[in-house]
Amino acid sequence: MTEIWRGVWVVAYREILRFVGDRARFLSSFAMPLLFLIIFGAGFTRTIGALAQGVNYIQFMYPGIIAMTVLTSSLFAGMSVVADREFGFLKEILVAPIGRTGIVLGKAAGGSLVALIQALVMLVLAPILGVKLTPTLVLSLIPVVIILSLGLSSLGVLIASFMQSQQGFQLFVQILIFPLIFLAGVFFPVNNVPAWMEIISKVNPLTYGVDAIRQIFLGSAHGLGVTVFGHVMTVPSEMALVGVLGAFLLLGAVIVFNRQE
């Protein structure tokens, strides 16, 4: 057991170390979210006007963009597994007395921490966009981001277990990311769309992550929240759903990683 814990923290520690040491990666990871925020924000905010009382389009989109940052950042925890395999470092980790389970948990935890840092950095935009930040808001955002990103990093590691090259991984994740983001209510409320789209969006677990983050920023009174069978989802129920799914993904990653040679 101590071996697993030691594994978790050394592997996670290295993820942070690499993240901090790589300024290019840090900056480029904000490129896409910023691009969406600026272009879609500038393009639509005036046309669409207020979506609800006191909520304009860019304020609606902003929490979704934070969720999107968490998604891309977490999935790329898997990228580091593939890169380690390609550059040989994975062997150094595999022969250390830390056990496979520790490695997977460490990669997921590291990916999750990196995602949390990125989400928090995104908060500097809030004042510019006219979104009010309070200590309560930030404190309730942290656990939500951690739960969401743990599940998504586990998914990343799980995918990585089947991938031999970084290009392969990147391609697969890119193909996965776009439908996940576009059908998760990042850019428009999912309640008021054609039925087929509504079904897909409400099956997409990311939808609930996006909605939870949005509720933390905008409250639940705006009436834009996701409804399932007529019930408006609350943040705790959404987190329970995302958390359970994430736990399964984590378990899956641990099992698959332990089986491989």
Q: Which residues contact other proteins by CB under 8 A?
A: 3, 6-7, 9-10, 13-14, 17-18, 21-22, 87-99, 261
Shortest distance, position 66 Cβ to other proteins, whole Å: 27
How would you label 212-222 residue by residue, b for 16+ Cβ within 10 Å and e otherwise?
bbbbbbbeeeb
Task: Report which DSSP code applies to 192.
Answer: G
Whole-number Å distance between alpha carbons of 10 and 69: 25
Whole-number Å distance between alpha carbons of 71 and 75: 6
Q: Which is nearer to other proteins, 93 or 160 (CB)?
A: 93
Shortest distance, position 107 Cβ to other proteins, whole Å: 14
Shortest distance, position 15 Cβ to other proteins, whole Å: 11
For residue 136, the tally of other CB atoms under 10 A from its CB is 9
Q: Which is nearer to other proteins, 93 or 180 (CB)?
A: 93
Instruction: Tell me phi and psi for residue 3, to 5 degrees.
Output: -65, -40
Q: Which is nearer to other proteins, 23 or 132 (CB)?
A: 23
Shortest distance, position 57 Cβ to other proteins, whole Å: 40
Shortest distance, position 3 Cβ to other proteins, whole Å: 7
- The continuous run of DSSP H or E covering 231 comes out as strand 231-232
Q: Which is nearer to other proteins, 51 or 93 (CB)?
A: 93
Shortest distance, position 102 Cβ to other proteins, whole Å: 9
How would you label 193-205 residue by residue, b for 16+ Cβ within 10 Å and e otherwise?
eeeeebebbbebb
Shortest distance, position 50 Cβ to other proteins, whole Å: 47
Among 167, 187, 171, which residue's Cα sits nearest to residue 64? 187
Residue 257 CA: distances (Å) to CA of 13, 78, 168, 203: 20, 12, 18, 27
Q: Which is nearer to other proteins, 97 or 194 (CB)?
A: 97
- The continuous run of DSSP H or E covering 253 comes out as helix 235-259
**Amino acid letter, residue 9:** W
Q: Which is nearer to other proteins, 42 or 164 (CB)?
A: 164
Q: Which is nearer to other proteins, 7 or 111 (CB)?
A: 7
